[in-house]
């Protein structure tokens, strides 16, 4: 077994953390230009705990123009025969508040635990801003202060609380890992492009995929746009709404139908009315992977319209 094996296989133990509220906190240095203080305490990462018995000074580079974000990190090195020692480092970044790509990621070899991003501005020798990237691991999960922490805690299954938001890093559509905010009621709205209806019965948006309206949706909703409808990715009870938008031409007498292929069982809700006011609601327990579609039928001449569908999960994810 290698040091990398030992570091990575820890039976669900969080990758990183600090022990106390003020442990390894990054603060401006009161007198040394372009320097910060990392307060004493304990930090852990990949099975190794580091302890500083007194505050440490980390020196950053100067800046002549613009702004720059430096990552302050606890660098662990497993390569020496006896292991360590760990060091506190400043990793220069760009003018964007993000973890630099040059951060070392290599548990069991050499690895950087993010502690803070420090913003430097030309003409100032003290930090303009410090973004706290520490996290605290306890019995119920991991707690952090800043959303940027989600960019480095990226093991599938991670549960994280930031302020009032609770997050989980899980498997999304097409087996792509995604962050899901678990204490929001998932909702999403989808919209079709303008479709021409030539005067006989057709499905909503035939041959086209719907588009997610992100402004009207929760982050990473458990729904996926598909041709003519929406795929529901999580089992549960859902409330549906569908309506026509921006219709032109003669308003036909029509039927608007909401069709759920729920685990192979087709369930349909129907609303009859004029196209200008056609609106339908429905609710159902939907199995994961089921499709929800809207179809229309009418008895008059050609017309054009956009359709929208709103889906809301009944209760928390």
Residues 191 and 303 grouped into a single domain: yes
Residue 41 pLDDT greater than 90, yes or no: yes
Does 44 share its domain with 124? yes
Give phi and psi for 160, each to the nearest 5: -145, 135
- Mean pLDDT of all residues in 159-177: 88
292 — phi, psi (to 5°)?
-120, 125
Q: State whether 214 and 280 are in the same domain.
A: yes
Q: Is the pLDDT of residue 128 over 50?
A: yes
| DSSP helix/strand/coil, 111 | strand
Residue that finishes a domain, picked among 90, 107, 134 = 134
Does residue 251 sit within a domain? yes
Task: Note the pLDDT tens digit of each residue in 247-303.
Answer: 566 555 556 666 777 666 666 665 555 555 567 777 778 888 888 877 666 555 566
Task: For residue 247, give its domain range.
Answer: 187-313
Strand partners, 40: none
Alpha-carbon span 242 to 269, nearest angstrom: 11
Q: Is residue 203 part of a domain?
A: yes
Single pTM value for the model: 0.68
Over residues 131-142, the pLDDT tens digits come to 999 999 987 789
Residue 54 in domain: yes
In a shared domain, residues 191 and 292: yes
pLDDT value at 39 more than 90: yes
State whether residue 175 is helix, strand or coil. helix
Mean pLDDT of the chain: 82
Same domain, 20 and 126: yes
The verdict on residue 49 lying in a domain is yes
Same domain, 209 and 92: no
Q: Are 117 and 215 contained in the same domain?
A: no
CA angle 268, 273, 275 (to 5 degrees): 100
Q: Assess whether 202 and 282 both reside in one domain.
A: yes
Whether the per-residue pLDDT at 205 is higher than 50: the answer is no
Same domain, 128 and 194: no
The CATH number linked to 265 is 2.60.120.40
Last residue of a domain, one of 134, 167, 201: 134
Q: Is residue 116 part of a domain?
A: yes
Tell me whether residue 171 is in a domain: no
Q: Is 271 domain-assigned? A: yes
Which helix H or strand E contains 198, and what residues bound it?
none
Tell whether 45 is covered by a domain. yes
Same domain, residue pair 100 and 201: no
Distance from C-alpha of 196 to C-alpha of 207, rounded to nearest angstrom: 12
Among candidate residues 92, 114, 134, the one where a domain is terminated: 134
In the chain, the number of structural domains is 2
* Inter-residue contact 190 to 308 (CB < 8 Å): yes
**What whole-number distance in Å separates Cα of residue 210 and Cα of residue 308?**
9
Tens of pLDDT, residue by residue over 211-237, are 888 888 887 778 888 877 788 888 888
Could you tell me the CATH number of the domain that includes residue 115? 2.60.520
How far apart, in Å, are the Cα atoms of 27 and each of 31, 187, 296?
12, 40, 62
* Whether residues 210 and 292 fall in one domain: yes
Two structure tokens written together for 57: 């000074």
């Amino acid at each position: 077994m290698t040091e990398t094996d030992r570091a990575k296989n820890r039976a669900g133990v969080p990758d990183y953390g600090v022990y106390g509220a003020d442990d390894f906190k990054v603060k401006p240095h009161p007198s040394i230009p372009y320097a910060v203080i990392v307060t004493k305490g304990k930090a852990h990462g990949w099975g190794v705990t580091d302890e500083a018995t007194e505050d440490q000074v980390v020196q950053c580079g100067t800046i002549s123009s613009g702004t720059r974000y430096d990552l302050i990190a606890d660098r662990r090195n497993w390569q020496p025969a006896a292991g360590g020692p760990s060091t506190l480092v400043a990793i220069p970044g760009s003018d964007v508040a993000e973890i630099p790509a040059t951060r070392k990621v290599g548990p069991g070899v050499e690895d950087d635990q993010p502690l803070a991003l420090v913003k430097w501005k030309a003409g100032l020798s003290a930090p303009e801003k410090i973004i706290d990237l520490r996290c605290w691991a306890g019995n119920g999960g991991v707690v952090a202060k800043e959303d940027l922490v989600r960019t480095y805690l990226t093991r599938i299954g991670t549960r994280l609380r930031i302020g009032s938001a609770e997050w989980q890093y899980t498997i999304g559509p097409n087996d792509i890992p995604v962050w899901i905010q678990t204490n929001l009621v998932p909702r999403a709205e989808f919209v079709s492009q303008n479709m021409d209806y030539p005067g006989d019965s057709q499905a909503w948006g035939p041959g086209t995929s719907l588009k997610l309206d992100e402004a009207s949706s929760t982050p990473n909703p458990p729904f996926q746009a598909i041709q003519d409808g929406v795929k529901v990715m999580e089992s549960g009870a859902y409330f549906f709404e569908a309506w026509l938008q921006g219709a032109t031409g003669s308003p036909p007498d029509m039927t608007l139908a909401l069709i759920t292929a729920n685990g192979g069982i087709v369930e349909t809700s129907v609303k009859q009315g004029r196209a200008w006011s056609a609106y339908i609601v429905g609710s159902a327990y939907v199995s994961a992977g089921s499709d929800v579609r809207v179809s229309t039928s009418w008895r008059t001449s050609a017309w054009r319209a956009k359709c929208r569908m709103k889906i809301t999960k009944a209760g928390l994810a």
